[in-house]
Amino acid sequence: MAVKYCTGKRSPASNTRRMAHTTNTVSSRSSDAFPYQQNLAVQQLLQSNSAHSSNAVGTVSRRSSLPPNLHSAPADPRAVVDTADTRASGYLASASIFSFLDSMMLGMSMSTASSTSYQAYLDRFDLPEQQGARFRNRFSGTTYATSNEAQQQELESLSTRYENLQAYLDGGIRYLSNNTSALTIGGCRDRCSANPGWGAWTCSERSARAIALCPPFWSATAGEQATMIVHELAHMRYQIRNHNAGNARQRGSNPECYASYIADLFGFSSYSNQCPRV
Ligand SMILES: [Zn+2]
C-alpha cells in the first residue's frame, strides 16, 4: 500500500505518529557556507553546478507545476527549484564520495578521528547493531566478526545508497507547488495545508517521481531546500515509510537520517528534526 510522507517539523495536529522525535531544531539561517576544509573541492564543484542552474541543467521535469507568486512561492519559483535540485544532486555525489572514503580509511586502519563525514555517520546512523557476538551491516543484512568491519561495509553500502539516490534524482523529478488543494502523487493523495509543519511531501513509491513543495519550502535556506529534496528522494527510492530514530536499524530506514548526514557534512541544519543526533 502506498503511504505518503513528509519532510516535516512537528505538525500541531495530526502528524505525531510519524515522528518519533519532535524537538525543534534551530535553523541556522546564515548556514550556506561550507566550513570544512576537506570539502573544498566539492564546494567548488557545487558552485560551478549552481552557476549553470539557470540554464536548466538540472533534472526538474517539464511536467512540474510551479506557478509564480502562489503558495508563498517567489516570482521565479522554477529558478529556486532548479538550484535546489542541482544542489541536492551535488550533495548526494559528495555524500557518496565521503562515505566511500571513510569506508576505505577504516579498511586501511587509518584514523577517522578528524573525519567530519565519519562523525556524521556516527551521529545520524549510529554504530552497526550487535547480533550475538557479530555485527550487522543494516543495509545488506550481512554480519561481521568485528564492529570495525561492519562499519566499513556499512559505509560502502551507504555510499552506494547515496549514488542510487543521485541516479534516481537525475532520472527526473516532477515538482508540484502545493498548499490547499489535494494532489495525487502515485497512490497517495494529500495537501500541504492539512499538515502545516510540512516543508514537502511525497509518496513512498519508487514510481512516484514527484515532490509536493509546501509554503515553508520557499522561505527555507538553500541547504534546507536541498535536504528536503534528499529526504523525499529516500522515501521514494527506498519505499521508506517511517521516521523512527530509536535505534540503529530504524535510523538506517529513516529518510531524514540520509538528509541530516548531508547537512552535517556541509555544516548546516536540515529543515527537519526527525533524525536527532545519537
Ligand atoms: Zn518524511
Give the confidence band of 100 by pLDDT, cuts at 50, 70, 90: very high
CB 199 within 8 A of CB 271: yes
Sheet holding 130-131, edge to edge: 130-131, 134-136, 143-144
If DSSP codes are grouped into helix, strand and coil, which group holds residue 257?
helix
pLDDT confidence of residue 44: 54
Grid cell digits, residue 193: 495545508
Phi-psi region of 103 (alpha: psi -120 to 50; beta: other; left: phi over 0): alpha
Q: Could you list the residue range(s) of the whole structural domain that residue 222 is in?
A: 4-266
Number of domains in the chain: 1
How close is the Cα of 218 to the center of ligand 1, in Å? 18
How close is the Cα of 113 to the center of ligand 1, in Å? 31
Domain annotation covers residue 271? no
DSSP 132-195: TTEEE-TTT--EESSHHHHHHHHHHHHHHHHHHHHHHHHT-BEEEE-SSS-EEETTEEE-GGGS
Q: Output the domain CATH number for residue 106.
A: 3.40.390.10
Q: What count of other Cβ atoms lies within 10 Å of the Cβ of residue 133? A: 8
Residues whose Cβ atom is located within 5 A of ion ligand 1:
5-6
Mean pLDDT confidence for 251-269 = 97
Residue-wise pLDDT tens digits, 174-210:
999 999 999 999 999 999 999 988 999 999 999 999 9
Whether 275 has a pLDDT exceeding 80, the answer reads yes
- How long a stretch of residues is the chain? 278
Domain annotation covers residue 73? yes
How close is the Cα of 46 to the center of ligand 1, in Å? 25
Domain annotation covers residue 237? yes
How close is the Cα of 256 to the center of ligand 1, in Å? 7
Mean pLDDT is lowest, of 53-57, 248-252, 261-265, for: 53-57
Backbone phi, psi, residue 228, to 5°: -60, -40
CB 45 within 8 A of CB 34: no
The rounded distance, in Å, linking the Cα atoms of 209 and 235 is 10
How close is the Cα of 137 to the center of ligand 1, in Å? 23
Domain annotation covers residue 161? yes
pLDDT confidence of residue 112: 85
How close is the Cα of 252 to the center of ligand 1, in Å? 13
Whether 8 has a pLDDT exceeding 90, the answer reads no
Q: CA geometry: angle at 169 spanning 164 and 172, to 5°?
A: 135
Domain annotation covers residue 162? yes
Residue-wise pLDDT tens digits, 60-88:
999 999 999 999 999 999 999 999 999 99
Q: What percent of the chain has pLDDT over 70?
A: 79
How close is the Cα of 276 to the center of ligand 1, in Å? 14
How close is the Cα of 153 to the center of ligand 1, in Å? 26
Domain annotation covers residue 25? yes
Residue-wise pLDDT tens digits, 105-118:
999 998 888 899 99
Sequence-separated (6 or more) residues with CB below 8 Å from residue 256:
7, 231, 243, 245, 270, 272, 273, 274, 275
pLDDT confidence of residue 99: 97
How close is the Cα of 18 to the center of ligand 1, in Å? 8
Sequence-separated (6 or more) residues with CB below 8 Å from residue 271:
7, 9, 27, 199, 216, 220, 224, 225, 227, 228, 231
Q: How does strand 130-131 pair with strand 143-144?
A: unpaired
Mean pLDDT confidence for 243-258 = 97
If DSSP codes are grouped into helix, strand and coil, which group holds residue 248?
helix
Domain annotation covers residue 65? yes
Domain annotation covers residue 277? no
Going from the C-alpha of 259 to that of each of 94, 122, 132, 272, the distances in angstroms are 12, 14, 31, 9
How close is the Cα of 37 to the center of ligand 1, in Å? 31
How close is the Cα of 232 to the center of ligand 1, in Å? 6
183, β-bridge pairs: 190
How close is the Cα of 38 to the center of ligand 1, in Å? 29
